[in-house]
Amino acid sequence: MIFWTIQRYWPMASNNTVREYGTPHLRLFKRCHPGIQSFFRSTLGIKILLLLRDGPLSPHRLCTAAGNTMPAVVSKLNIFVNEGLIERCQDQYALSNAARIITPHLIDVIAAVRSEENHVPGTGRETLEKKSSQHLIDRFIENQKAIRTVFRSGIVAGILLELNEGQKNRPRLHRVSGCTSNALTPRIRWLERMGWVTERRHTYRLTQTGSGVAATMEEFVVTFATATRHGDFWNTHSLERFPGFALHTIGDLVEAEIISDEPTSFFLNYERYLDLLADADYIHGFTSMANPGFADAIGARVMAGVPVEIVVSPDLAYHLHQEPYQEKVASLYRFRNLQFRVTELPLPMGLTVTERCLSSKLFLRDEMVFDTQNGLVCSSPEAHAWGERLFEYYKRHSIPMQEYILSKAFEHENSELKAPDTPEDGGEVPEAHTPLPAE
């Protein structure tokens, strides 16, 4: 199974491993390599994933579109179901959330990698996302030899990923690839024929096209690892409200860990989150849910002078102006380091970003209930930047909470005061009466 394979090859690298295996992306690829090899092994499997990106299909429809026999299609569907890449919905099959995360980057790979006979020197990276599934399948079949050479050969992948960090000499490439000189030479020659690598004074570097291929490969590897490492988490939580840019760059969360409440530590998520807030030098976040304990912790940081910016949903904005929050919120309005804002965009999760960590909780997929028992945390620079981009997106589409509340109150008041053009019974509009002055 892909998920099991990824988890098995996920040990964190020591300093010695860093020196032995080269760049972080190369080390990650080596951990994911068995799973990636399995992913690209079957042409039928790639066909099925590309066909299902347009929506659920029956096995019969898949057989017709893929041009394969029913036993072969059903067998591959069962394998994908067991691996968590496909879900069965009555008599149809659909992509799981994990596969929905991976598939756009599979399309990027198909766009970037061309076989030697189809290669056009100097061509840039294409965008195939809007192409039909059949077009993508045809393009993959044309170039599957080169794609498999790149992703199934640890040596070729090692060269590309290492050179994407900068030019390297042959001893360095020999060391990171872990192969003999006789095995390294034909791979380098193949990369040169593809127009991806050039040599100058015994130093190798990527061409512009080669840089595009290597960058696409890096994005695929981190996304594949992110989606499969925590496949059960993604598949049981909703991704429907995620902005496109956030979902496409979700590979930035590759080092994230899942914190789950346990029978012996029922408030583990709650306690971890309070610890995160207690040490924060600033707090950015958005949420549609409230918790009195979190409100007290955030209030304490505000009174300590810590900058806090929180974007909330309209329902939560009104809720915060009711007890038990009304008095607390009113007392915090006088602090200039606090900003409450309201967005009418649907929020996909609860997210908090501090200077040292990202913490988020998602909605359960089937019930759309906020999952308070399982949280995702990450302290990598990439995850921090991902969280800040997402926060800034919702902040740009928000206004200060007091302004929002006043504007809605004004709209409500105007709607009540506005006289209808015609009475409901269809009669004449009654004459307006001028009130008599008080005596």
pLDDT in tens, 342-373: 999 999 999 999 999 999 999 999 877 999 88
Dist CA 362 CA 234 (whole Å): 9
Does residue 394 register a pLDDT over 80?
A: yes
Angstrom CA distances, 60 to 20, 42, 72, 86, 240, stand at 49, 19, 12, 16, 28
Q: Parallel, antiparallel, or unpaired: how do β-strands 257-260 and 349-353 relate?
A: unpaired
Residue 243 structural domain: 237-405
Q: Does 138 share its domain with 286?
A: no
**What is the rounded CA–CA span in Å between residue 95 and residue 77?**
11
Domain boundary pick from 221, 255, 278: 221
Residue 5 has pLDDT above 70, yes or no: no
Any idea of the CA torsion for 159, 252, 110, 170, to the nearest 10 degrees?
Answer: -10
**pLDDT band, residue 305 (cuts 50/70/90):** very high
- Answer whether residue 87 is part of any domain: no
Please, are residues 392 and 309 in contact by the beta-carbon 8 Å criterion?
no
- Residue at 230 is within a domain: no
Read off the amino acid at residue 398: S
Pairing of strands 308-312, 349-353: unpaired
In this predicted structure, the answer to whether residue 389 has a pLDDT above a threshold of 60 is: yes
What is residue 432's predicted lDDT score, i.e. its pLDDT? 40
Q: Which residue has the higher pLDDT, 275 or 124?
A: 275
How confident is residue 23, by pLDDT bands cut at 50, 70 and 90? confident
Q: Of 221, 256, 291, which closes a domain? A: 221
* pLDDT tens digits for range 102-139: 999 999 999 999 865 554 444 444 567 778 899 999 99
Secondary structure (3-state) at 10: coil
Q: Are 195 and 146 in contact (CB under 8 A)?
A: no
CATH number at residue 268: 3.30.870.10
- Nearest CA-CA partner of 253 in 160, 358, 161, 162: 358
Does the pLDDT of residue 302 top 90, yes or no? yes
- pLDDT tier, 214 (very low <50, low <70, confident <90, very high otherwise): very high
Query: Three-state SS for 26?
Result: helix
State whether 189 and 151 are in the same domain. Answer: yes
Judge contact between 103 and 74, C-beta under 8 A.
Answer: no
Residue 255 sits in the same domain as residue 400? yes
* Domain-terminating residue out of 163, 190, 221: 221
Q: Are residues 255 and 310 in the same domain?
A: yes
Give the chain's end-to-end CA distance (angstroms, integer): 88
Residue 425 has pLDDT above 80, yes or no: no
Please check whether residues 271 and 198 belong to one and the same domain. no
- For residue 60, being part of any structural domain is answered with no
Residue 225 near residue 254 (C-beta atoms within 8 A): yes
Query: Is residue 72 domain-resident?
Result: no
Dist. CA 21–CA 320, nearest whole Å: 52
Q: Is the CB of residue 229 less than 8 Å from the CB of residue 7?
A: yes
Residue 52 lies in a domain: no
Q: Please tell me the total count of domains within the chain.
A: 2
Is the residue at 320 inside a domain?
A: yes
Residue 10 clears pLDDT 50, i.e. is over it:
no
Region 261-284: what's the mean pLDDT? Answer: 84
Are residues 134 and 241 both part of a single domain?
no
Same domain, 122 and 160: yes
pLDDT tens digits, residue range 81-94?
999 999 998 899 99
Do 297 and 389 belong together in one domain?
yes
